Structure 1
Amino acid sequence: RNSYKKNICIDMLRQGYHESFSELFTLIQKWNALREAAGPGSAIWQQKSLEEQPDKLDQLYHFLTRAEAAQRAGHYEEVYDNQLNLAYCFNDPEDKWLSNYFYEQCFSTAQLIKIDGGKREAQAHANMGLINEEQGHVMKAAEHYEAFYQLTEGSTWKDETGHTYNSLACEHLWRIYTLLADKMLENKEHQQAIKTLIKALKMAKEG
């Protein structure tokens, strides 16, 4: 039943990709643990296991081994790009945990890149901000967005839609500060809420 997974694992080991092998193994175990924890009747329970989805195994094999080869050569920007490709690959709702896992990997790798002026680090902060915001960790998200803003100040970096990173940072901060202010008002922290709303307004004007 798992012969495809077995072949991929043997292939990785044959070619000396030991880290990729153990990472793939860990992810399969993590998937099974998530499924067990969710129990019968849950959405994840109805799905095929990761090891029974050859297309996903192919993507993991392809990008994990490329990332490992780049890491050996000390090309951390390539490691990052391969990890980011994996985060993008798993964009189905049921694969969210997998996507988030690779965004977190990107964040760690980005700290090691010294040749792109902080562009990938900025991008990684933006992605971690979005993950934290989605999970309801508003303060943590704000910290990531603030770092994203600081790293993009004065830069001309743009995303694929042509928006500058800095205008995106302003947008994220405007949104997160407004959310924070709402929470402060709920907790009757009026002074703090006003200060935070002023920060939100500043970002809205700047963006």
Structure 2
Amino acid sequence: RRRAEEEFESDELPLEQQWDKLETLRRHLSRAEQAENTCSWTVVCDQRLFLAQFFSCADREQGGQSRPATEARACLAEVYLQLGDLQAARQQADQCLQQAEGEGWVDSSGRPLRLRALRALSSVYSRLADAPLEAEDHSEALRLLHRGHSIATEAEDKKLEFDTLLRLGLPIRAQEDHDTLFNTCMQICVSLHDAEGLGKSYKAMSKSIESEGNTQETLECLEKLVDICRDNGLKRNLADAFLCLGNTYFTMREYSRASEFFLQGYGVSCELGDVALLQKAQ
């Protein structure tokens, strides 16, 4: 990256006369285009990230604190998120937030840069929780998820707030007030007219209730999920809901009822032509 910045440092000549610069730009744009044609999306991101880092001037002494450079940091944070480099994404989002704080700056689309940085940071903390969750370090995972939710609330993004709340409610069941969490999730979905999100809330709640051994309430949640999916034409979610009901009845040793729901799930999967769902139903 430093080499690239040095390569482009000179402004003595007009751009059309800086052949080395033009050739380097052409090379990276061509690589990105070739990668896009072969669906090599990581390579596409890498090549565009190279160009974004150059054009942003975010790390340069002159102009590095300007509004365009601050917007560039927001872009870099989002690209690093796509690439899975969470530490780099957090660094860029933090710097973007620091530079945008109190300035009232908006990006080229009219979105406040401060809120854009907060959205990126919330996503970073939520994804950073994946590793401790996998290692069953619930204390660290909970800290990161709470941080992500707090930032999402500050970012004034209801959809992001819903996503972080749902994650808080799923993996660490014994340590959270799930009724409050899931009810808040549902209220957000109703306000956003988000039927799919509402279904996710009921599915998450059913898992939480099932873990407590309350089978009847689990069934009620799943039946509500079926109604939501059916009423809103969410066929893929409907098939999954039928299979969840089938599994619950199967654990209750009510095999006839389980078979009934498995068959319904299989039927919807056939309509969709979804191989993964078909295999699950089979």
> Taking structure 2 as the reference length, what is the TM-score of the superposition?
0.41
Superposition map of 1:134-149 within 5 A: 134-149=82-97
Q: Secondary structure at the match of 2:110?
A: coil
| Partners of 1:183 and 1:163 in 2: CA distance | 32
Q: Deviations over 1:12-64 (max 9, x none)?
A: xxx7658731022234555778899x8xxx828xxxxxxxxxxxxxxxxxxxx
Q: Deviations over 1:133-170 (max 9, x none)?
A: 11111222112111111211122111244321111111
Distance 1:160 1:22, change over 3 A: closer
Match of 1:104 in 2: 53
Asked whether the 8 Å contact 2:71–2:107 carries over to 1, the reply is: no
Match of 2:107 in 1: 159
Q: Secondary structure at the match of 2:18?
A: helix
Distance 1:28 1:151, change over 3 A: closer
Q: Deviations over 1:99-140 (max 9, x none)?
A: 3222110344552334x8532232121111112111111222
Distance 1:160 1:118, change over 3 A: closer
Structure 2: stretches of 5+ with no match in the other structure: 1-12, 156-282
Match of 2:23 in 1: 25
Distance 1:34 1:169, change over 3 A: closer
| Partners of 2:26 and 2:125 in 1: CA distance | 38
Structure 1: stretches of 5+ with no match in the other structure: 1-14, 45-91
Match of 1:170 in 2: 118
1:182 corresponds to which of 123, 126, 130:
130
Asked whether the 8 Å contact 2:52–2:76 carries over to 1, the reply is: yes
Alignment pair present for 1:118 and 2:61: no
Match of 2:38 in 1: 43
Identity %: 19
Paired amino acid for 2:116 = L
Paired amino acid for 2:82 = E
Distance 1:117 1:142, change over 3 A: closer
- Which has the higher mean CA deviation after the structures are superposed, 178-187 or 105-114? 105-114
Q: Secondary structure at the match of 1:154?
A: coil
| Partners of 1:97 and 1:182 in 2: CA distance | 24
Distance 1:96 1:22, change over 3 A: same
Q: Secondary structure at the match of 1:112?
A: coil
Q: Secondary structure at the match of 1:188?
A: coil
Superposition RMSD in Å: 3.7
| Partners of 2:149 and 2:58 in 1: CA distance | 33
**Which entry has the higher C-alpha Rg, 1 or 2?**
2
Asked whether the 8 Å contact 1:110–1:120 carries over to 2, the reply is: no
Q: Secondary structure at the match of 1:157?
A: coil
> Taking structure 1 as the reference length, what is the TM-score of the superposition?
0.54
Asked whether the 8 Å contact 2:31–2:44 carries over to 1, the reply is: no
Q: Which has the higher contact order (CA 8 A, sep 6+)?
A: 1
| Partners of 1:35 and 1:165 in 2: CA distance | 29
